[in-house]
C-alpha cells in the first residue's frame, strides 16, 4: 500500500473514532442532564395555602391539624399547639418530586402496600395514599386517590417516618405552655407561688419568701415560658393511675385554666406528664432544674416512677 493511501486510511479512521467519541460524549451528557432534570411534583398544591391536614392510619384515631392565625394547631385526637418542624415535613410531601410511575393495571397494589394503604394523608381535599418502599432505590409508593387526578402510582424519595406515623405526640409543640399564657399561680412540691393581686409585677409565696427574692421568682416563672421539651412522648406512667393521683405541679393561667403535671423519673431522664392529655414532655437536666428545683423549698415527695 502506498504511503499516501495509508495516511488517508489512518486519517479516516481517526476521524471516525473522533466522531464516535463525540457522539458517545454527547449521549452521556444527555443522559446526565436527563437524570438531574427536575421531575414533576406529586401535586400542584401550594403548601403555604394548605389549611387542613388529616392523617389516617388503620385501627387508629385520625390526627387532624388546622392552620390558624397563631400557627398550626392539633384538633384531634387532642387539642394542642403543633410543632412547625414535623408539619413542614408533612407539607413537603405535596410538592415532592416524582421519580417514576406505574400503571395500576400492571401491578398488584397489595404488594406495594397500597391495598389497603399503610396510611393516607389529606391536604384539604387532596388525598394521598402512602405505600411501602421499593427495595432498590428505597423510593416510596404513593397514590393520589382523591379528588380524581393522575391514576398512576407514583414513586417519590422516601421521607422521615415519624411525622407520618400514628403517634400524635411526634407532632405536638415542644413548649410546655400556650404561647400567650399568663401564669397567675404555680404550685410545686413544697412551694406555691402566686401573682400578687395588688402589685401585678410581684409574687407571694407559701412558705413566705423575703422581698429580695422577687427578681429570682420572676426569673423562675419566666423559665416556664421559655423552656421547650427535648421530646414529646406518650405517657410514661399509666394515665388512669396518674389521673387518680394528686398533681406534682399545677400551673394556673390567667383565664383560670389549671394545667396539672406529674413528675416522672424514668430511664435516667425526667418527664412532666400532663394529667389531662396523654403526653409527656422530656426535660433536659438543666431545664428540669430551672423549672422544678427552687431554692429554700420544703422536701418534696418522691416523683412518680422514681427509684425508692
Contacts for 40 with CB less than 8 Å, ≥ 6 apart: 97, 98
Domain boundaries, the chain: 47-168, 183-292
> Alpha carbon of 111 to those of 57, 66, 132: distances in Å?
18, 33, 8
The Cα–Cα gap between 284 and 87 comes to 24
Residue with cell 407539607: 91
What is the model's pLDDT at position 1? 53
> Alpha carbon of 24 to those of 27, 32, 35: distances in Å?
5, 12, 16
The DSSP symbol for 290 reads: H
Say if residues 165 and 86 touch (Cβ distance below 8 Å).
no
What is the model's pLDDT at position 124? 96
Partners of residue 263 on adjacent β-strands = 272
Give the residue among 203, 224, 222, 54 at the shortest CA–CA distance from 128.
Answer: 54
This prediction has a pTM of: 0.79
What is the model's pLDDT at position 224? 95
What is the model's pLDDT at position 301? 37
What is the model's pLDDT at position 13? 57
Give the residue among 193, 197, 246 at the shortest CA–CA distance from 220.
Answer: 193
Give the residue among 258, 55, 30 at the shortest CA–CA distance from 170.
Answer: 55
What is the model's pLDDT at position 304? 47
Phi, psi of 198 (to 5 degrees): -95, -55
The Cα–Cα gap between 172 and 82 comes to 5
Helices marked H in 2-97 — which ranges?
3-36, 84-92
The alpha-carbon radius of gyration of the chain (Å, integer) is: 30
What is the model's pLDDT at position 246? 83
Residue 161 cell numbers, joined:
417516618
Please report, in tens digits, the pLDDT of each residue of the chain (308 residues total). 555 655 554 555 555 555 554 455 555 443 433 443 457 899 999 999 999 999 999 989 999 999 999 899 999 999 999 999 999 999 999 999 999 889 888 999 999 999 999 999 999 999 999 999 988 888 999 998 877 666 789 999 998 888 899 999 999 999 999 888 899 999 999 899 998 777 767 888 898 877 778 888 888 899 999 999 999 999 998 877 666 678 999 999 987 789 999 999 999 999 999 999 999 999 999 999 999 988 654 333 344 454 43
Amino acid at each position: 500500500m502506498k504511503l499516501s493511501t495509508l495516511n488517508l486510511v489512518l486519517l479516516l479512521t481517526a476521524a471516525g473514532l473522533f466522531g464516535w467519541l463525540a457522539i458517545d460524549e454527547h449521549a452521556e451528557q444527555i443522559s446526565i442532564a436527563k437524570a438531574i432534570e427536575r421531575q414533576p411534583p406529586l401535586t400542584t398544591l401550594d403548601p403555604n395555602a394548605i389549611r387542613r391536614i388529616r392523617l389516617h392510619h388503620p385501627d387508629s384515631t385520625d390526627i387532624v391539624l388546622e392552620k390558624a392565625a397563631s400557627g398550626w394547631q392539633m384538633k384531634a385526637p387532642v387539642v394542642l399547639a403543633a410543632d412547625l418542624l414535623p408539619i413542614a415535613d408533612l407539607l413537603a410531601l405535596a410538592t415532592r418530586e416524582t421519580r417514576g410511575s406505574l400503571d395500576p393495571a400492571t401491578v398488584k397494589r397489595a404488594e406495594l402496600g397500597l391495598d389497603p394503604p399503610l396510611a393516607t394523608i389529606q391536604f384539604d381535599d387532596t388525598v394521598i395514599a402512602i405505600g411501602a418502599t421499593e427495595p432498590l432505590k428505597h423510593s416510596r409508593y404513593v397514590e393520589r386517590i382523591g379528588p380524581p387526578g393522575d391514576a398512576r402510582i407514583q414513586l417519590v424519595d422516601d421521607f422521615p417516618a415519624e411525622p407520618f406515623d400514628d403517634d400524635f405526640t411526634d407532632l405536638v409543640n415542644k413548649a410546655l405552655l400556650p404561647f400567650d399564657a399568663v401564669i397567675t399561680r404555680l404550685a410545686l412540691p413544697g412551694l406555691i407561688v402566686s401573682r400578687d393581686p395588688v402589685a401585678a409585677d410581684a409574687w407571694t409565696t407559701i412558705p413566705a419568701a423575703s422581698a429580695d427574692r422577687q427578681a429570682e421568682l420572676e426569673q423562675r416563672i419566666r423559665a416556664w415560658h421559655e423552656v421547650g421539651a427535648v421530646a414529646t412522648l406518650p405517657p410514661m406512667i399509666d394515665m388512669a393511675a396518674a389521673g387518680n393521683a394528686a398533681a406534682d405541679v399545677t400551673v394556673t393561667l390567667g383565664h383560670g385554666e389549671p394545667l396539672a403535671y406529674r413528675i416522672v423519673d424514668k430511664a435516667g431522664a425526667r418527664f412532666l406528664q400532663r394529667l389531662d392529655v396523654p403526653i409527656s414532655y422530656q426535660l433536659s437536666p438543666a431545664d428540669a432544674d430551672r423549672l422544678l428545683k427552687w431554692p429554700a423549698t420544703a422536701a418534696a415527695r418522691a416523683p412518680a416512677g422514681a427509684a425508692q
